[in-house]
């Protein structure tokens, strides 16, 4: 018995025939059939019942298949372990996800993973949460993102809660409820619904919520995908219930909060067995370096309820949602008022280009260094905009307030020019001192390896930096003894070759941003200067 024979058996079982299996394995059908027959003789049992119309697994074949899969997975992990021991991560990463995952920006995470580990083959499958737990337990999935009701039993796997929130009603713009801030299930019971197929896990939570309220509803349209569901709602054919964070990116529909809507918990699950190097790298990217299951602290379930606001939200957690108005929308209005703005009278056309975050030690304030590119003019211009997101106004900083916005999960945010916010400045100095690290812009608890910090000296920096003005394409913050932070507002690619250093330069924060043609360039974000001005 060898691994190739197992691959052939698996291919026949999955394709339902020897011809298609041979095509998948890129071998002649006769060669594949010969190897399967040879394996059957060795085992002393037929694995397939063959007829002129179909090929079907026997009871022996059904018993053989799971063990064969595990053997092939183990062989793949062994090869990957050898590659990892030599400093390379190879192999296959197989993930599962619900279609409406909202706790992480999955495409952004996968792009980052591919950039870091280009030799790993990534496979993504969608399915029901119940089935994906089984697949993780069986070893056919390395990890999966679930959307389940509170208390969902994920036995036999490691599980971590990512977020928790209620469903909202999604209605057409002209629907009578479109102008309402909130409603309850009783008001919705008379509506016609668009939902997933009866019996599916994606629909079960909504069905249970109506049943618990003693209500019946009519689901006239059953669909298999969110895109079709939203289109039908947009055309006024019905209403839908979807997770609040997921709906933040939908266009052409209105969201209505539900006071008694179903609660969904998103969880990341992965195997209890030691992960392959490819899977371990993915879990580390998501901020899961420890694969032991940690039980929640007493009262943790209560603290996770959205209605409990006694403790401030942890702003270091990335939510897959948007602000209203959105970041690009508010910057489109704000940038032309800045002295370092290089655009014309027609206004900017902005696109996100990169950046990084810093974590507030108290978890109360979001801190972001956001790079945006204006493509309205003949030549693209990339701006660096440090921003802070607060849950309440910052005393004495009215001049630095860009706007207020509604966050899909956290509620109202006060958004400030970060150069004017003492907390951002304090964390920026901590970055230069090595007391904190730049964080990935779209993944929680993950340092950004593309942000490089250098400093020629050591010891603490002054704590009294304040903005002293804009100079050309920079905003300058000055502290005691002339120490300065020069924040680049217009980003320029670093020149080729070794970086030059000014006479008073003592450090840099440099990073990468994307260009409109899909490339990436590196340059300085912030420069630290000490001593008298050169």
Are 287 and 357 spatial neighbours (Cβ–Cβ below 8 Å)? no
Cβ neighbours, 10 Å, residue 53: 7
- Structural domain count of the chain: 3
Two tokens, residue 351? 């696109």
> Is residue 328 located within the same domain as residue 348?
yes
CATH number of the domain within which 133 lies: 3.40.190.290
Are 448 and 440 spatial neighbours (Cβ–Cβ below 8 Å)? yes
pTM value? 0.46
CA angle (507 as vertex; 354, 435 as ends), nearest 5: 75
The per-residue pLDDT string of the chain (534 residues; one tens digit each, 9 = 90 and over) reads 888 899 899 889 888 888 888 887 778 888 899 999 999 999 999 999 987 677 889 999 999 988 888 888 787 777 666 766 666 788 899 999 988 888 888 999 999 999 989 999 999 998 888 889 988 887 789 999 998 887 777 777 888 888 888 899 999 999 999 988 899 999 999 999 999 888 776 788 899 889 988 999 999 999 988 889 999 999 999 999 998 878 877 889 999 999 888 888 889 999 877 788 889 889 988 874 333 333 333 333 332 333 333 344 555 555 544 567 888 989 999 999 999 999 987 889 999 999 999 988 777 899 999 999 999 988 999 999 999 999 899 988 899 999 998 876 677 889 999 999 999 999 999 999 998 999 988 776 678 888 999 999 888 899 899 999 999 999 999 998 889 999 999 999 998 755 556 678 999 999 999 998 888 899 999 999 987 665
Q: Of the residues 86, 114, 132, which one is the last residue of a structural domain?
A: 86
Q: Of the residues 56, 86, 116, which one is the last residue of a structural domain?
A: 86
CA angle (201 as vertex; 198, 202 as ends), nearest 5: 85
Alpha-carbon separation of residue 491 from 268, 331, 339, 400, 515 (angstroms) = 37, 16, 15, 21, 11
> Is residue 127 located within the same domain as residue 258?
yes
Q: Which domain holds residue 250?
A: 89-292
Tokens 């304030």: give the residue.
365
> Is residue 267 located within the same domain as residue 125?
yes
Two tokens, residue 204? 């079960």
> Is residue 279 located within the same domain as residue 253?
yes
The angle, 0 to 180 degrees and rounded to 10, between the axes of the packed helices 59-85 and 3-15 is 120
Alpha-carbon separation of residue 258 from 171, 284, 449 (angstroms) = 12, 36, 41
> Is residue 94 located within the same domain as residue 54?
no
> Is residue 358 located within the same domain as residue 409?
yes
SS3 21: helix
> Is residue 286 located within the same domain as residue 365?
no
> Is residue 106 located within the same domain as residue 29?
no
> Is residue 234 located within the same domain as residue 256?
yes
Q: Would you say residue 304 lies in a domain?
A: no
CA angle (425 as vertex; 421, 428 as ends), nearest 5: 140
SS3 206: helix
Cis, peptide link before residue 306, omega less than 30° from 0? no
Q: Which residues pair with 412 in a beta bridge?
A: 406
- Residues in contact with 480: Cβ distance below 8 Å, sequence separation at least 6, in sequence order: 462, 464
Helix locations, 292-376, DSSP H? 300-303, 327-334
> Is residue 369 located within the same domain as residue 490?
yes
Cβ neighbours, 10 Å, residue 43: 14
Cis, peptide link before residue 325, omega less than 30° from 0? yes
> Is residue 268 located within the same domain as residue 161?
yes
> Is residue 328 located within the same domain as residue 227?
no
């Amino acid at each position: 018995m060898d691994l190739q024979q197992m691959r052939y058996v698996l291919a026949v079982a999955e394709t339902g025939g020897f011809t298609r299996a041979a095509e998948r394995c890129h071998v002649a059908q006769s060669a594949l059939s010969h190897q399967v027959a040879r394996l059957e003789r060795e085992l002393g049992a037929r694995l397939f019942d063959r007829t002129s119309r179909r090929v079907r697994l026997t009871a022996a074949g059904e018993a053989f298949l799971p063990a064969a899969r595990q053997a092939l997975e183990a062989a793949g992990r062994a090869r990957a372990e050898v590659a990892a021991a030599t400093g390379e991560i190879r192999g296959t990463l197989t993930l599962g996800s619900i279609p409406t995952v909202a706790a992480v920006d999955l495409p952004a995470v996968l792009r980052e993973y591919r950039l870091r580990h280009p030799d790993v083959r990534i496979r993504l499958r969608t399915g029901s949460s119940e089935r994906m737990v089984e697949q993780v337990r069986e070893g056919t999935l390395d990890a999966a993102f679930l959307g389940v009701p509170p208390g969902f039993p994920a036995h036999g796997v490691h599980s971590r809660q990512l977020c928790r929130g209620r469903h909202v009603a999604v209605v057409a713009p002209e629907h009578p409820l479109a102008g309402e801030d909130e409603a309850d299930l009783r008001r919705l019971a008379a509506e016609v619904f668009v939902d997933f197929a009866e019996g599916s896990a994606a629909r079960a939570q909504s069905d249970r919520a109506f049943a618990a309220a003693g209500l019946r509803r009519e689901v006239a349209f059953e669909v298999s995908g969110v895109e079709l569901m939203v289109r039908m709602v947009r055309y006024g054919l019905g209403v839908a219930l979807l997770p609040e964070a997921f709906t933040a990116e939908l266009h052409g529909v209105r969201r209505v909060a539900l006071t008694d809507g179903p609660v969904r918990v998103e969880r990341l699950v992965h195997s209890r067995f030691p992960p392959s190097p490819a899977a371990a790298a993915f879990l580390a990217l998501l901020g899961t370096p420890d694969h032991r299951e940690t039980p929640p602290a007493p009262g943790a379930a209560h603290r996770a309820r959205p209605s409990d606001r006694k403790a401030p939200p942890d702003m270091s957690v990335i939510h897959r949602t948007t602000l209203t108005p959105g970041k690009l929308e508010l910057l489109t209005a704000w940038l032309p008022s800045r002295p370092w703005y290089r655009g014309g009278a027609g206004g900017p056309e902005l696109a996100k280009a990169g950046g990084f975050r810093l974590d507030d030690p108290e978890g109360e304030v979001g801190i972001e260094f956001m790079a945006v590119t204006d493509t309205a003019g003949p030549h693209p211009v990339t701006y660096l905009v440090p921003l802070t997101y607060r849950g309440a106004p910052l005393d004495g900083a009215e001049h630095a307030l860009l706007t207020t916005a509604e966050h899909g999960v956290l509620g109202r945010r006060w958004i400030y020019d970060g150069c004017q916010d003492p907390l951002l400045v304090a964390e920026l100095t901590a970055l230069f001192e090595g007391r904190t690290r730049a964080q990935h812009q779209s993944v929680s608890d993950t340092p950004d390896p593309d942000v490089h910090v250098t400093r020629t000296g050591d010891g603490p920096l002054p704590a009294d930096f304040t903005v002293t003005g804009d100079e050309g394409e920079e905003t300058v913050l000055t502290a005691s003894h002339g120490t300065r932070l020069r924040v680049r507002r217009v980003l320029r690619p670093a020149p080729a070759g070794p970086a030059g250093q000014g006479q008073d330069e003592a450090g840099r924060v440099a990073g990468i941003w994307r260009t409109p043609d899909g490339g990436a360039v590196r340059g300085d974000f912030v420069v630290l200067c000490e001593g008298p001005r050169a």
